[in-house]
Amino acid sequence: VIGGSAYLAYGVWELRHPNEQFEPDPSKKNLVILGTGWGAVSLLKKLDTENYNVIVISPRNYFLFTPLLPSCTTGTVEHRSIMEPIRSITRHKRAAVKFYEAEATKIDPERKTVMIDDCSDVQGASNKTEVSYDMLVVSVGAENATFGISGVRENSCFLKEIEDAQRIRKKIMDCVETATFKDQSPEEVERLLHMVVVGGGPTGVEFAGELQDFFDQDIKKWVPEISDKFKVTLIEALPNVLPSFSKQLIEYTESTFKEEKITIKTKTAVKKVTDKTVEAEATGPDGKKTIEVMPYGLLVWATGNALRPVVKDLMSQIPAQKDSRRGLAVNEYLVVQGTKDIWATGDCAVAGYAPTAQVASQEGAFLARLFNTMAKSEAIENTIHDLSSKLNLQPGNAGEVAVQIETNEKKLRRIKDLKPFHYTHQGSLAYIGSERAVADVSWFNGNFATGGGLTYLFWRSAYLSMCFSTRNRVLVVLDWLKSKAFGRDVSR
């Protein structure tokens, strides 16, 4: 206990009192990183910033631990517990890193510039400008796919950012309070308490599970009059939910949802959304299609990713990207095809892997290794160049200098032997409600599929260990204890 506390105290002290940093050196290359998500932050964490002039640009000045975002929608975890200020990362680097809170609106690969726009509510005199780069890393993620379906953007909540989770949390309680308003008609009560989730991927499933928990464990106790009216429906276009998980876990999830009284409508594709209804086309077992109109109070849209406009625009400027549809096609070193000085990671890149946090994080760490290596080899090449000039100027020392050149050349060969990026899949985890989780994990070259209460404890410990900082971990544990002891907060 004493050892643990001392370690924690030291960690906190370190965090609050970083060493002095080197100032940026204009003679070095400008390395511009767009984004503060999984790819960008894992790059920053491992990057030796003294080798470059590092500039980070992102509309949010924090890293968000997205796996616990569904828990924020119901208050199981508070939003600040899964946010880590970007400055707490950059302040600990040896050389200072510039951060601009702005959105990158246009990348010009010819002029090597990025247009940035300060998108915050408070605007200064300078709010749109340009940043030059020598090397650029695009880690801007993706936006929510709506497939151009009418009414989605205007009427539904997404689940990507912290504001989305806050909006959902508020809307759940709005629906509950409005449903209990004096003289509300039974049809209106039914509509308001119908929570519809579209998309049966991990995001939709985890959210539906958290929402049903919130209702069963808390709302029901505080607002008993709506006990039998609260309903969660999950709509999925494919024949089953969680298509990327094994068959056994899909069945386990579907049977758990049945027990939890979550309705799953598979083979049902939403075609239109209005402010109060969802219109979906259901395909029956005989292949017959029928249109179903479902009134809803809250609609959460979780149908995956789409390209951000800045990425689409960049792709349109690079002929080699003409055939890529889902994002910036990159080579095995994550260099954007058709460019020499632009790299891409995460959901905006197409490297042949699913768009997950795990992939983005490993890609970011790879780029840090690559950039550290590039800087080291450049330094050695310069040393070899200097030694070679010495050789010509001072022929008397030739033997000694030649040995030094050879040693450096050996070092250079060793460093330059960096293998291409290879993703190691550690498994997929998803919370499915009522303290159960499913896990498809790969260990010791084998795959294991498990679901249930023990998997839930594994899910909790795995997510806790993946949290960004000790501070995040402490806050998340406290939130879990708090919501267990006192229940989730049902105030709006």
Q: Do 73 and 98 touch, CB atoms closer than 8 A?
A: no
Q: Which of 42, 49, 303, 321 binds ligand NAD (CB under 6 A)?
A: 303
Secondary structure (3-state) at 211:
helix
- In the complex with ligand NAD, the residue whose CB is nearer, 97 or 152, is 152
Secondary structure (3-state) at 342:
strand
- In the complex with ligand NAD, the residue whose CB is nearer, 237 or 367, is 237
Is 199 near ligand NAD (CB under 6 A)? Answer: yes
Amino acid at 162: I
Q: In terms of Cα–Cα distance, which of 177, 168, 162, 167 is closest to 66?
A: 162
Amino acid at 249: L
| Helices 470-486 + 453-466 axis angle, to 10 | 140
Q: What is the DSSP letter of 458?
A: H
Residue with tokens 């598979």: 266
Reported as type and span, the H/E element at residue 13 is: helix 2-16
Secondary structure (3-state) at 269:
strand
What are the DSSP E strand ranges found in 346-473? 349-350, 427-433, 436-443, 446-452
Q: How far apart are CA 446 and CA 452, in angstroms?
A: 20
Q: Do 213 and 433 touch, CB atoms closer than 8 A?
A: yes
Piece of 91-99, 297-305, 386-394, 400-408 that binds ligand NAD (CB under 6 A): 297-305
* Contacting residues for 457 by C-beta, under 8 A, at least 6 apart: none
Q: Which of 59, 75, 201, 451 binds ligand NAD (CB under 6 A)?
A: 201
Q: Which of 321, 356, 362, 372 binds ligand NAD (CB under 6 A)?
A: 356
| In the complex, least distance from residue 457 CB atom to ligand NAD, rounded to whole angstroms | 16
- In the complex with ligand NAD, the residue whose CB is nearer, 405 or 449, is 449
| In the complex, least distance from residue 150 CB atom to ligand NAD, rounded to whole angstroms | 11
Counting Cα atoms < 13 Å in the Cβ hemisphere of 397 gives 13
| In the complex, least distance from residue 25 CB atom to ligand NAD, rounded to whole angstroms | 38
Give the per-residue contact string, 396-435, with ligand NAD (x = CB under 6 A; - = no).
--------------------------------xxx-----
Q: How far apart are CA 291 and CA 270, in angstroms?
A: 9
| In the complex, least distance from residue 430 CB atom to ligand NAD, rounded to whole angstroms | 4
Piece of 10-18, 34-42, 238-246, 405-413 that binds ligand NAD (CB under 6 A): 238-246
Is 302 near ligand NAD (CB under 6 A)? Answer: yes
| In the complex, least distance from residue 357 CB atom to ligand NAD, rounded to whole angstroms | 7
**Subset of residues 126 to 185 that bind ligand NAD, contact rule: CB under 6 A:** 147, 149
> What does each C-alpha distance from 457 to 122, 227, 454 come to in angstroms?
43, 29, 5
Is 237 near ligand NAD (CB under 6 A)? Answer: yes
Is 75 near ligand NAD (CB under 6 A)? Answer: no
- In the complex with ligand NAD, the residue whose CB is nearer, 235 or 330, is 235
Q: How far apart are CA 302 and CA 157, in angstroms?
A: 9
| Helices 38-46 + 357-393 axis angle, to 10 | 40
Q: What is the DSSP letter of 216?
A: I
Work out whether the CA dihedral 171, 173, 176, 182 comes out positive or negative. Answer: negative
**Subset of residues 207 to 236 that bind ligand NAD, contact rule: CB under 6 A:** 235-236
* Contacting residues for 250 by C-beta, under 8 A, at least 6 apart: 240, 241, 242, 243
Secondary structure (3-state) at 180:
coil
Which residue's Cβ has the minimum distance to ligand NAD? 201
Q: Which of 200, 209, 297, 433 binds ligand NAD (CB under 6 A)?
A: 200
| In the complex, least distance from residue 63 CB atom to ligand NAD, rounded to whole angstroms | 16
* Contacting residues for 249 by C-beta, under 8 A, at least 6 apart: 242, 438, 439, 440, 449, 450, 451
Q: How far apart are CA 62 and CA 88, in angstroms?
A: 9
- In the complex with ligand NAD, the residue whose CB is nearer, 47 or 294, is 294
| In the complex, least distance from residue 250 CB atom to ligand NAD, rounded to whole angstroms | 11
Give the per-residue contact string, 304-323, with ligand NAD (x = CB under 6 A; - = no).
xx------------------
Q: Which of 18, 239, 243, 453 binds ligand NAD (CB under 6 A)?
A: 243
Q: How far apart are CA 332 and CA 420, in angstroms?
A: 5
Q: Which of 172, 189, 198, 342 binds ligand NAD (CB under 6 A)?
A: 198
Is 299 near ligand NAD (CB under 6 A)? Answer: no
- In the complex with ligand NAD, the residue whose CB is nearer, 306 or 329, is 306
Q: Which of 35, 204, 297, 338 binds ligand NAD (CB under 6 A)?
A: 204
Start-to-end CA span in the chain (Å)? 39
Q: How far apart are CA 88 and CA 469, in angstroms?
A: 10
Q: Which of 270, 314, 380, 387 binds ligand NAD (CB under 6 A)?
A: 270
Q: Which of 244, 290, 389, 397 binds ligand NAD (CB under 6 A)?
A: 244
For ligand NAD (CB under 6 A), the number of binding residues is 28
- In the complex with ligand NAD, the residue whose CB is nearer, 203 or 321, is 203
| In the complex, least distance from residue 437 CB atom to ligand NAD, rounded to whole angstroms | 9
Residues lying near ligand NAD in the complex (CB under 6 A) are found at 67, 147, 149, 198-204, 235-238, 243-244, 269-270, 302-305, 354-356, 428-430
